[in-house]
Amino acid sequence: MQPAIATPAIAKEFRSRLLTTSLRFKAGQVIFDEGQKATRWYEVVRGTVRTCRFHIDGRRHLTGFYFSGDVFGADYGYYSTAAEAVTDVTVQCYRVGDISQPGQPKPDLSEAVSILFRAMSSAQKYLFIVGHRTALEKLAAFLLCIHNQNNDDPHLLLPMSRADIADFLGLTIHTVSRTFTELAQRGLIKIEGRHSVVITDKTGLCRLAGEMDNFTNPSADGPIHPAAEFCFPKHPNPET
Amino acid sequence: MQPAIATPAIAKEFRSRLLTTSLRFKAGQVIFDEGQKATRWYEVVRGTVRTCRFHIDGRRHLTGFYFSGDVFGADYGYYSTAAEAVTDVTVQCYRVGDISQPGQPKPDLSEAVSILFRAMSSAQKYLFIVGHRTALEKLAAFLLCIHNQNNDDPHLLLPMSRADIADFLGLTIHTVSRTFTELAQRGLIKIEGRHSVVITDKTGLCRLAGEMDNFTNPSADGPIHPAAEFCFPKHPNPET
DNA sequence: CGCGAAGTTGACATCCGTCAACATGCGTGG
DNA sequence: CCACGCATGTTGACGGATGTCAACTTCGCG
């Protein structure tokens, strides 16, 4: 798992330069719908938000959870997912028009770029979680992700339902439930109610999730271009 | 599946305002490593790139494929994945410093924002694919994604290996292989070699993938805030 | 022609989805 | 405060899908 994404200083500094609106939604309310024109993006101030799509057969598929400080709705053109409030939430709403309309006076876009970088990191993180093979691995990675977002507090609050977790991890609520109890039986977590879990063996969870524990590669600190630079193709490859 | 992400006009227009370097890598070469400082981001000019992470047990996990026009490496802080050339590739390399160093003269960041939006859309798309439950659904969604990126040409070039596809979808090469033949037996695709597939029944593939065929929601064209706006919490919820 | 890498296919075991039953928690109303 | 009902969550049995292991085939390259 990559380190928790702290709000970059630059974003705080320039926050006032983008026009924002503060909004509140009650638990379960829709913030925007799939297919709507993506005219705004959002930052969670308080509470939890989920993004989801629906298959034609009615099955739901969640593509992300967003907590305080996270960004969602940064889509190009049309929203590819809907966004719903998991709990009562307060969000800050940024207008896309502020950056894409050539005529308008432009605010400092450093903040926008910074926000989008954070959103990218979040999406990458989720891709890694969902890509795991077994239910144990997926749930372990999921819990570690929440853990990191909560400043490594072993007491986790899981505001979402089992169904939400299942639809996010590509499992059923039954498997999610069974896997929770198995993690508890293995002594990795302690379940303290529907929305509360304590991590009792973080190393064990990391091993299950297959993650290097807080590993970064400080030696390779970004040389100009690690490998060869201008190398000409020797044998043809199938490519576009 | 969301519509293919066309390169926005604004990006083309302002392309020259960001400093870029054009680089080439041979098939298999590493472009950047997981854990390196994320000092650059990249756009594929020609060829195919994959991003990947490794579990502690050595298993590989791909988080994305990037084709001509796609953006990768837009990470905050450190690269959360490595990037490797699937085929011989030409990439354009953007320096992060160009937008985050306050002292420097700032280029027009509209392009950067536009690029990041596209990268976000791509990540969302991949999340949707990997989140499917069965191997058939995953592979169907994957093929449709490639299909859309190729301007809906039914002839698909799959430059990556079966192992790449497996590590991306969270399956094994055996299951991927079996699923390919099953899709062919069902008459949905025609396999024309290791790196070439023809889609013979797009509707059937869409049904498998659970996607609304090119569905957008033009009626709901983004009202200010679909649901209630300022609503105060009635009952306490577990949240951060 | 021969070798190794990549891909395919089959047999079998395991994991997870399905179905069903039950337990728990929560809100409402008595 | 308790009774009730519904939504949510848990657990078990079973079958099907997928990982594992193994054998074979195909392809590309020397």
Contact B75 A112 (CB under 8 A): no
Distances (CA, A) of B77 to A176, A221, A232, B100: 33, 11, 31, 12
Which of A100, A109, A125 lies closest to A17 in space, CA to CA? A109
Contact B127 A57 (CB under 8 A): no
Query: For chain B, what are the domain ranges?
Result: 1-130, 132-216
- Of residues B132 and A76, the one with the higher pLDDT is B132
Residues of A in contact with B239 (CB under 8 A): 46-48, 87-89, 157, 159
**Could you report the per-residue pLDDT of A86-118, keeping only the tens digit for each?**
999 999 988 866 554 444 445 556 677 778 888
The CATH number of B1-130 is 2.60.120.10
Q: Is the pLDDT of residue A238 over 80?
A: no
The CATH number of A133-216 is 1.10.10.10
pLDDT at B97: 61
Contact A35 B220 (CB under 8 A): yes
Q: Is the pLDDT of residue A193 over 50?
A: yes
Contact B47 A232 (CB under 8 A): no
The mean per-residue pLDDT over the stretch A196-207 comes to 93
- Please answer whether residues A53 and B128 qualify as being in contact, where contact means their C-beta atoms are separated by less than 8 angstroms: yes
In chain C, which nucleotides are within 7 Å of a protein Cβ? 6-11, 15-20, 25-27
pLDDT at A8: 39
The mean per-residue pLDDT over the stretch A147-159 comes to 90
pLDDT class for A16, splitting at 50, 70, 90? very low
pLDDT class for A15, splitting at 50, 70, 90? very low
Contact A234 B68 (CB under 8 A): no
Whether the beta carbon of A190 falls within 7 A of nucleic chain D: the reply is: no
**Could you report the per-residue pLDDT of A35-75, keeping only the tens digit for each?**
999 888 899 999 999 999 988 888 899 999 999 989 999 88
Type of residue numbered B239: E
pLDDT at A94: 83
pLDDT at B18: 61
The encoded tokens of residue A103 equal: 């005529």
- Of residues A210 and A134, the one with the higher pLDDT is A134
Residues of A in contact with B197 (CB under 8 A): none
Q: Which residue is nearest to nucleotide D9 (CA to C1')?
A: A177
Identical fold between B1-130 and B132-216 = no
**Buried/exposed code over A131-156 (b: 16+ C-beta within 10 A; e: otherwise):** bbeebbbbbbbbbbbbbbbbeeeeeb
For the CA of A179 and the C1' of C15, the distance in angstroms is: 12
Q: With helix as H, strand as E and coil as C, how does chain A read?
A: CCCCCCCCHHHHHCHHHCCEEEEEECCCCEEECCCCECCEEEEEEECCEEEEEECCCCCEEEEEEECCCCEECCCCCECCCEEEECCCEEEEEEECHHHHCCCCCCCCCHHHHHHHHHHHHHHHHHHHHHCCCCHHHHHHHHHHHHHHHCCCCCEEECCCCHHHHHHHHCCCHHHHHHHHHHHHHCCCEEECCCCEEEECCHHHHHHHHCCCCCCCCCCCCCCCCCCCCCCCCCCCCCCC
Distances (CA, A) of B68 to A227, A233, B92, B220: 21, 17, 11, 32
Between CA B56 and CA B50 the distance in angstroms is 20
| pLDDT, chain A, mean | 79
**Could you report the per-residue pLDDT of A211-227, keeping only the tens digit for each?**
765 544 554 445 545 45
pLDDT at B109: 63
Q: Which residue is nearest to nucleotide D10 (CA to C1')?
A: A177
Indicate the range of A16-20, A157-161, B171-175, B177-181 predicted with least confidence: A16-20
**Could you report the per-residue pLDDT of A115-133, keeping only the tens digit for each?**
888 888 888 889 999 999 8
pLDDT along chain B (240 residues), means of 10: 37 50 91 91 93 89 93 88 94 72 53 80 90 93 92 91 96 96 95 93 91 54 50 36
pLDDT at B10: 37
3-state class (DSSP) for residue B137:
helix
Of A55, A76, A87, the CB nearest to B210: A55
Whether the beta carbon of B136 falls within 7 A of nucleic chain D: the reply is: yes
pLDDT at B14: 41
pLDDT at B186: 94
How many C-beta atoms lie closer than 10 Å to residue A54's C-beta? 14
In chain D, which nucleotides are within 7 Å of a protein Cβ? 8-13, 17-22, 27-29
Of B112, B125, B240, the CB nearest to A67: B240
Q: Residue A28, CA: closest nucleotide via C1'?
A: D7
Contact B231 A25 (CB under 8 A): yes
For the CA of A196 and the C1' of D5, the distance in angstroms is: 26
Nearest CA in chain B to A67: B240
User: What's B178's DSSP letter?
Assistant: H
The CATH number of B132-216 is 1.10.10.10
For the CA of A57 and the C1' of C22, the distance in angstroms is: 29
pLDDT at B198: 95
pLDDT at A9: 37
